[in-house]
């Protein structure tokens, strides 16, 4: 269980229209912009939460797989996908291992304001390196 499971509803509300909305509205375009041209690319949204960045990347033409350890945040992400389908796939997984994701299968990986919540950054970077295609 993730610590975010306990606050998933509050966190979702805070990002949509609460105290985190202005900050998130400012940072998300920067993160998506740094991803560059993603149309047709397979992109992993690492620690995707309720899928805010995943949906934005899909809107730009990426084929997105969102990964998060929090089942409740993934439930919210899946509900958003159900309400407005974009083709985003959501997978429950640990950013430190990315178990279940095959080697060399992503053109890019993004992580929006989440690395500070991952205990082992070295393991996470190793897992990201493993799932990226050469040159990704």
**What is the domain partition of the chain in residue ranges?**
3-131
- CATH fold group of domain 3-131: Rossmann fold (3.40.50)
Q: What are the two backbone dihedrals, phi and then psi, of residue 87, each rounded to the nearest 5 degrees?
A: 85, 15
Q: Are 60 and 32 in contact (CB under 8 A)?
A: yes
Beta bridge pairs of residue 63: 42
Work out the mean pLDDT of the chain and round it to a whole number: 94
Q: What is the pLDDT of residues 15-66, one digit of tens each?
A: 888 888 887 789 999 999 999 999 999 999 999 999 999 999 999 999 999 9
Identify the residue with better confidence: 106 or 1: 106
pTM, two decimals, is: 0.93
Identify the residue with better confidence: 79 or 4: 79
- pLDDT over 60 at 84, yes or no: yes
Q: What's the pLDDT score for residue 95?
A: 97
- Tell me the percentage of the chain whose pLDDT exceeds 90: 85
């Amino acid at each position: 269980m993730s610590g975010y499971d306990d606050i998933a509803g509050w966190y979702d509300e805070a990002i949509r229209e609460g105290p985190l909305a202005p900050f998130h509205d400012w940072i998300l375009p920067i993160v998506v912009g740094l991803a560059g041209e993603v149309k047709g690319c397979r992109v992993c949204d690492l620690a995707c939460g309720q899928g805010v960045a995943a949906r934005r990347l899909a809107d730009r033409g990426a084929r997105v797989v969102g990964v998060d350890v929090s089942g409740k945040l993934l439930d919210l992400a899946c509900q958003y996908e159900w309400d407005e389908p974009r083709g985003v796939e959501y997978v429950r997984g640990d950013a430190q291992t990315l178990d279940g994701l095959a080697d060399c299968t992503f053109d890019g990986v993004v992580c929006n304001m989440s690395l500070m919540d991952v205990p082992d950054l070295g393991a996470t970077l190793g897992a990201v390196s493993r799932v990226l295609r050469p040159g990704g």
